[in-house]
Chains A and B, each alone.
Chain A
Amino acid sequence: MQYMALIYAEEGYQANYEGDLMADYGQFGQEAMAAGVFKAGDALMPVSDASSVQVRGGNTTVTDGPFAETKEALGGYYLLECADLDEALKWAAKIPTAKYGTIEVRPVMVFDQ
Chain B
Amino acid sequence: MSQTALALAFKADSGRVLAALIAQFRDFDLAEEALQDAMIEAARTWRDGRTPSCGSSWLLAVARRRALDRIRSSKRANDEIVLQNLNLLAENQPDDEAAQEIPDERLRLIFTCCHPALAEEAQVALTLRTLCGLTAREIAQAFLVPHATMNQRLTRAKAKIRNAGIPYRVPEGPEIPERLAAVLSVIYLIFNAGYAPRNPALSAEALRLCEVVHHLQPLPETSGLWALMRLHMARDPARFTADNALVSLKDQDRSLWDHAAIARAKTRLLHALALSRPGVYQIQAAISALHCEAPSWAKTDWPQILALYRALYRLSPTPVVALNSAVAEAHAGSPTASLASLEALRPELDGYQPFHAARAELLAQCGDAQAARLEYDRAISLTSAPEERTFLSKKQLELP
Whole-angstrom distance from the CB of B212 to the nearest CB of chain A?
22
Main secondary structure of the interface of A (DSSP, over half): mixed
Chain B interface size, under 10 / 10 to 19 / 20 to 34 / 35 or more = 10 to 19
Q: Judge whether B164 is part of the interface by a CB distance below 8 angstroms.
A: yes
Alpha-carbon distance between A3 and B163 when the two chains are bound, in angstroms = 11
Q: Scan B342-381; emit 1 where CB is below 8 A from any A CB, else 0.
A: 0000000000000000000000000000000000000000
Alpha-carbon distance between A105 and B115 when the two chains are bound, in angstroms = 15
Residues on the A chain within 8 Å of B278, using CB: none
Alpha-carbon distance between A105 and B169 when the two chains are bound, in angstroms = 20
Instruction: Determine whether the beta carbon of A89 is less than 8 Å from that of B167.
Output: no
B89-130 interface with A by 8 A CB criterion: 115, 117
A88-113 interface with B by 8 A CB criterion: 88-89, 105, 107
A interface residues, tally (CB under 8 Å): 11
Whole-angstrom distance from the CB of B119 to the nearest CB of chain A?
15
Whole-angstrom distance from the CB of B272 to the nearest CB of chain A?
28
Q: Judge whether B165 is part of the interface by a CB distance below 8 angstroms.
A: yes
Instruction: Determine whether the beta carbon of A86 is less than 8 Å from that of B164.
Output: no
A107-B169 contact in complex given A85-B117, A89-B117, C-beta closer than 8 Å = no
Residues on the B chain within 8 Å of A83, using CB: 165, 167
Residues on the A chain within 8 Å of B175, using CB: 86
Alpha-carbon distance between A88 and B117 when the two chains are bound, in angstroms = 12
Whole-angstrom distance from the CB of B126 to the nearest CB of chain A?
15
Alpha-carbon distance between A105 and B166 when the two chains are bound, in angstroms = 12
Residues on the B chain within 8 Å of A64, using CB: none
Instruction: Determine whether the beta carbon of B167 is less than 8 Å from that of A107.
Output: no
Residues on the A chain within 8 Å of B163, using CB: 107
Alpha-carbon distance between A3 and B175 when the two chains are bound, in angstroms = 20
Residues on the A chain within 8 Å of B115, using CB: 85
Alpha-carbon distance between A60 and B261 when the two chains are bound, in angstroms = 71
Using CB atoms, name the residue of chain B closest to A90: B175
Q: Scan B160-181; emit 1 where CB is below 8 A from any A CB, else 0.
A: 0001111101010001000000
Query: Using a CB–CB distance below 8 Å, which chain A residues touch chain B?
Result: 1, 3, 82-86, 88-89, 105, 107
